[in-house]
Amino acid sequence: MRSIRFNIWLLCALILASAAGTFLPQVAEDPGRVETFIASHSLLGPALNSLGFFDLFHSRWFLALWALMVLDIAACKLMEFPSRDPEARPEDLEKMVRSRPLTAKFTAQDADKAFSGIRGLLAREGYKVRLLPTGTSPLAAAAEIHSPQAWGSFISHASLVVILAGCLVKWLFGFQEYVAAAEGSSARVTKRPGWELRVDSFKVERYADTGASKSFESKLTLMENNLPLTEKTIRVNSPLSVQGINFYQDSWGATGKWRSARLAWPDREFELTQGLPRTVPGTDTKLTADLFAADFGVTPEGHADNLTTEPTNPALRVKEEHRSGLSRTWWLLQLEPSRAFLEDADGRLQEVPPPPFKLAAVDPVLFSGIQVVYDPGYPLVLAGSLAWLAGMVVNFYLHRRKFLVVVIPETSRPARVLVGGWSSQGAVAFKKDFDQVVSRMREVLS
């Protein structure tokens, strides 16, 4: 502890561990991918699982590293408060001046007058002048400007400890889970027993030219023990917040169910309800629609597939039955009416010319995906971030500069004036200003 080298090695370990947690699937985000990874890596998967790599940010060893990082920064930096230069004995003042990065020396006829003039000059230049207790001889003063800059590094490191502590609190006591519910249905919030989230309605706004989704929103009712707790219509970046828990609009898609569908002939339209057979008026044909694919595709084996949950290529499976006994099963594509697929008894598809009817419209039942986030460390992270920004501003925009002036009276000769200078920017950056102030001191004494 209290070793910068140890701190660097600890930081490297945390970075490598965090990188592993980024590239490896995590249980909290996608448990299915974790199971797939373990199954496909018979040796590596179980080994990583036993070490907690699939729930890395909640594993004991990662939290221990994080806590050690907080303690190490506190021990290295926060045990040493910024303070003024220690008082020096009168006999050590001359040596103290010579130890400054920048020095100058000259003489003055009257020690008291010279000392008073230099003090006044430094005060007019904006320096805070402090007399050093030396008795009657020599005369000494310390002058400083932008002294709060000394706290910049301390504040930055202290705020970093607060940020790290906030992250630690989040990982220890916070949670995040994904809840999906179809319109008109509800889903349990597993992290809060007794809570259920009901999606009363869901609305998607699309771009007129491309049909792509522009925005989407959910009207939610949060239930506690079957009683309404609160309700709100949420959108992206406009969550529902209850007792420090935020419900964010995350995703949406089609459930595979649908309310109604319209088939169209050149001279008529016909409406179907999912799973309900209907006879086409004036014919001996019965139609039944059962399956809906939001984003229709065909697998390499020739079976129907739903590629995604977003309805970008909606398709409906319609079974056509005639009184004569002829039966065919069609897949009709809403956006491509010139294409159709016949499905055989084994579920394999064959692309064929479309039937005399087409899929004109389908009203799918959509689901809303909600991210449920509880982050009790957020106030600490926010406060620490603002403090870190303030510390950086103080550290880099205030340039601390100090002068040490010692006037040594001589009985038979002119008094000696010794000046030492220091700056947080370094001797090279401060030399020009230092020489200018020293030149004005000489003018005051002339």
Residue 81 CA to residue 1 CA, distance in Å, equals: 18
What are the angstrom distances between the C-alpha of 371 and each of 29, 79, 255?
Answer: 10, 41, 18
Task: Give residue 15's pLDDT.
Answer: 85
For the chain, state the CA radius of gyration: 38
303-313 pLDDT, tens digit per residue, is: 999 998 888 89
The domain 90-146+399-445 is placed in CATH, from the list 3.30.420.270, 3.40.640.10, 3.30.160.110, 3.40.50.720, at: 3.30.160.110
Domain boundaries, the chain: 4-80, 90-146+399-445, 173-255+368-386, 256-363
Question: According to the model, what pLDDT value does residue 85 have?
Answer: 59
433, 114 in Cβ contact below 8 A?
Answer: no
Question: Dmax of the chain from CA atoms?
Answer: 136
Instruction: Provide the pLDDT for residue 2.
Output: 54
Residue 119 has a CB neighbour count (10 Å cut-off) of: 20
Give the pLDDT confidence score for residue 19 in this predicted structure: 86
Backbone angles phi, psi at 175, to 5 degrees: -155, 165
Length of the chain: 446
Which residue has 């004569």 as its token pair? 324
pTM (2 d.p.) = 0.68
Give residue 197's Cα distance to chain centre. Answer: 25
pLDDT per residue as tens digits for the range 68-87 = 877 777 776 656 666 665 56
pLDDT at 3: 62
The string over 137-149, giving b where at least 16 C-beta atoms fall within 10 Å of a residue's C-beta and e elsewhere, is ebbbbbbbbbeeb
Q: How do residues 311-370 score in pLDDT, each as one tens digit?
A: 889 999 999 999 888 899 999 999 999 999 999 999 999 999 999 999 999 999 999 999
Ranges in the chain, pLDDT < 50: none
